[in-house]
Structure 1
Amino acid sequence: MKTLTKLAGAAALGALMAGGAMAEGLYTPNLAYRTGPFAATGIPLMNGQKDYMELMNARDGGIGGIAIDFDECETGYSTEKGVECYEKTKGKAIVTQPWSTGITLQVLPKTNVDEIPILAPGYGFSPMADGKVFQWAFNIPLSYWDGASILIKYLGSQGDLSGKKIAFLHLDHPFGKEPLPYLEAAAEAQGFELVPIPVGLKEMQNQSAQWLQIRRERPDYVIMWGWGAMNAGAITEAVKTKFPMENMLGVWWAGHDADLKIVGDAGKGYKSVSWSFPNPEAPIMADLQKYVVEPGKTLSNAEEMSGVFYSRGLVISMVLGEGIRVAQEHAGKAEISPADLRWGLENLDITEERLEELGMTGMVPPFSTSCNNHTGHSGGWILEWDGEKFVKASDLIMPDSDMIAPLEEKAAMDYAEANQPWPVNEECGG
């Protein structure tokens, strides 16, 4: 019955548009980084995002009968260039996709004035989960604190962490520092020692000093919060120093197939938490081949399309696409405003049933959002490198919401107080 209701809603929306001329298109710019030290990880993500919207336009005539204008503004992952891209695109955009925690933090204070939703799937400032305080920001479907929590829960399932030592190898950047509040709280609560080891932007490809420290510290585990060139550098150093790969785990941005292919079999056992997973048998992959690949509309290739990051790009644009669809149905119009999209993004219900309708079964865990929950906290899988590809090494693990929620609420209110006047939506319930 729910399926019929959704299909009826889509049909009604299509009929609404059928009588008039096709609109110019919904402008959903992406602050991309196909160049610079993070390009190796950025390119497959951007390709997946772009191809999903290409599919929507070619197969479905857009979303709700209106084309998606999925433009890219190149930042090179530079915060300064990212802010320039935001200012350049915000005039007609219904969303901004910053693609960097640093850029997100710079844009965040502007959202209450510009009233354009930030969509930062799986990145950005973790307390953005609090929709009461961050009314225009979304880090769907998992925050960095969620990811750190899942990694700690997984390690805890392997044995008591009390008295253990965990090295936290992280990019010395807002992205890399983001999980520290949760990890420090978890270390105190569970009795393990946390050893932060920062990696500067200029040290990403030469981490000899960091791995010398790891050899001296002799940690039980290494959690890697890496990105771009840092990932390959860390993985090759780990292999070279004979660190047991089964005891090395990364955030979802440190689970890139191409980084592990550099070491191949020597990387067996390395793990990464992930809120997405490629499914080559999913119907959407056949549709992409027919409507995007064969007509020559993709910048990707078969090897990349089978990987974790391309698949994640598809999921990210699906989240945006579903936000648009829900907003259109609620507003009763196809040409939605940024405020309409905000409503759509905080009223998502991505069920198993909906994923099947989208042809994306198994590619992301189910989740839902609300006025107060701008993340969804979907849970994640632990993926393991088998020498050739990533495979699932766990069932879905849910984050420790009992520990995270108070941290989110306090950090959100601290942010609001430090950035007064900051509007808070008191009508947004718990």
Structure 2
Amino acid sequence: MTRFTKMAVAAVVAGIAATSALAQELYTPNLAYRTGPFAATGIPLMNGQADYFTMLNARDGGIGGVPVNAEECETGYSTEKGVECYEKTKDRSIVTQPWSTGITLQVLPKTNVDEIPILAPGYGFSPMMDGETFQWAFNIPAGYWDAADMIIQYLEEQGDLEGKKIAFLHLDHPFGKEPLPVLEMHAENKGFELVPIPVGLKEMQNQSAQWLQIRRERPDYVVMWGWGAMNAGAITEAVKTKFPMENFLGVWWAGHDADLKIVGEDGKGYKSISWSFPNPDAPVMQDIQTHVVEPGLTQSNPEEMAGVFYSRGIIISAILGEGIRVAQEEFDTAEISPSQLRWGLENINMTEERIAELGLDGMVPPFQTSCSDHTGNSGGWMLEWDGEKFVKASELMTANVEGYADIVSAKADEYAEANQPWAVNEDCES
């Protein structure tokens, strides 16, 4: 073999090695929002997500020995920027994490074409729980309709809702309108009056008009579907107008420690349904301390890490990590494809034992997914602000999914019909 030929062969081998090295990662981009009007809530969530995968990479070399690349693409919670991020990342990604109901709704029609799973934990389009219709979309471990149902369950436990009035203070955005079908169903069936009160994106920090309406309406309860600066604005106004905080409840995205710390003791009694809970003594927190915090690899801080949203970010990445692991085992390959990850996300069985194995003790309820159930309906706890932190105010609650199954089916069929041709999973039998 001539010297030239040897050099050529060496170059080819080096090229293959380099290509292999580049391929040796699990690319799970995150459409993050660390800027804009929702940054205060986005930052702790993104930090929790990032720190979990940083910990796995440092402790285990990733998942199945393959590092996770959880690169962020900043959207500022803008739907337009979110779609740009999706298009920019989709060629390499095994999953897309849109992080906004508006972005999710824009990306959802593309899923049957691009065949990349959407992972939208606790948000997005509620009928995505119908895995036969939305075969590429997941809102594990609980959806907005689950949240609405559990909130009404909790209020019913406080007394009969017949003749009561519930104000629905919500962001005037697809996210804020999501629970209306289930809330309207319950209002009709249980005999209470539902009063929707929208908050525009430009009104989030000045809700004087909305709270003037609440004072006029004199509702028995206020249920808030808020996000970002809207939450702090609403909680501040509630305190200012002396609304009884024990009658003020929010969805899980309206249960952010920092928003309540603004009012401190005056916020005592405020509640938020949640499918996650911070446990500083969980083994995963020690592993993050050892492998991420001590080497200086986190953007977080001790106060944030003790809160609900940081720990929820950990849970979100843990769910994705579990879907990846299940797929790797099923298909006997470490570098899985998007379609293999879809199978993995459809076959998560997060038992109490598995939760403990992952070091997530007490941080998330058990749940299980299937090809027909892309949510898992984990249930959640009602959390209450005690003046300093959120504490559990209920045992684990579960949504009565059967109670709104007809709405799920009708809305899923409606979506498929409006987006023809729409491929469904005809092989799903579970």
Q: Structures share a fold, TM > 0.5?
A: yes
Amino acid aligned to 1:225? W
What is the match of residue 375 of structure 2? 375
Amino acid aligned to 2:109? P
What is the match of residue 327 of structure 2? 327
Greater alpha carbon shift after TM alignment, 418-427 vs 154-163: 418-427
What is the match of residue 395 of structure 1? 395
What is the match of residue 179 of structure 1? 179
What is the match of residue 230 of structure 1? 230
SS in 1 for 2:397: coil
What is the match of residue 4 of structure 2? none
Distance 1:138 1:423 in 2: 16
Greater alpha carbon shift after TM alignment, 372-381 vs 21-30: 21-30
Considering only aligned residues, what root-mean-square deviation do their CA atoms show, in Å?
0.9
Kept in 1, the 8 Å contact 2:278–2:307? The answer is yes
Structure 2: gaps spanning 5 or more residues: 1-19
Shift of 1:201: 0.0
What is the match of residue 360 of structure 2? 360
CA deviations 1:23-59 (Å, max 9, x no partner) are: 5311000000000000000000000000000011000
Shift of 1:404: 2.0
Distance 2:125 2:224 in 1: 18
What is the match of residue 414 of structure 1? 414
What is the match of residue 101 of structure 2? 101
Distance 1:169 1:22 in 2: 48
Kept in 1, the 8 Å contact 2:51–2:288? The answer is yes
Amino acid aligned to 2:236? T
Distance 1:100 1:404 in 2: 23
Kept in 1, the 8 Å contact 2:225–2:254? The answer is yes
Structure 1: gaps spanning 5 or more residues: 1-19
Distance 1:30 1:353 in 2: 28
Q: Relative to 1, partners in 2 of residues 1:232 and 1:187: Cα closer, same or farther, differing over 3 Å?
A: same
What is the match of residue 42 of structure 2? 42
Amino acid aligned to 2:427? E
Distance 2:429 2:206 in 1: 48
Distance 1:216 1:237 in 2: 14
What is the match of residue 132 of structure 2? 132
Kept in 1, the 8 Å contact 2:24–2:335? The answer is no
Amino acid aligned to 2:283? P
What is the match of residue 248 of structure 2? 248
What is the match of residue 29 of structure 1? 29
CA deviations 1:33-90 (Å, max 9, x no partner) are: 0000000000000000000000110000000010001100000000000000000000
What is the match of residue 345 of structure 1? 345
Greater alpha carbon shift after TM alignment, 409-418 vs 256-265: 409-418
Alignment of 1:198-237 (within 5 A): 198-237=198-237
Amino acid aligned to 1:315? I
Kept in 1, the 8 Å contact 2:53–2:317? The answer is yes
SS in 2 for 1:168: strand
Kept in 2, the 8 Å contact 1:23–1:66? The answer is no
Q: Relative to 1, partners in 2 of residues 1:116 and 1:206: Cα closer, same or farther, differing over 3 Å?
A: same
Amino acid aligned to 2:421? P
Amino acid aligned to 1:374? H
Distance 2:323 2:365 in 1: 17
Distance 1:115 1:23 in 2: 19
Structure 1 runs, 4 residues or longer, greater than 6 Å off:
none
What is the match of residue 307 of structure 2? 307
Amino acid aligned to 1:148? A
Kept in 2, the 8 Å contact 1:82–1:98? The answer is yes
What is the match of residue 261 of structure 1? 261
TM-score under structure 2 length normalisation: 0.95
Amino acid aligned to 1:207? Q
SS in 2 for 1:196: strand
SS in 2 for 1:201: coil
Identity %: 77
Amino acid aligned to 1:118? I
Distance 1:313 1:180 in 2: 26
Distance 2:102 2:404 in 1: 22
Distance 2:415 2:186 in 1: 22
SS in 1 for 2:273: strand
SS in 2 for 1:300: coil
Distance 2:40 2:27 in 1: 26
Kept in 1, the 8 Å contact 2:365–2:380? The answer is yes
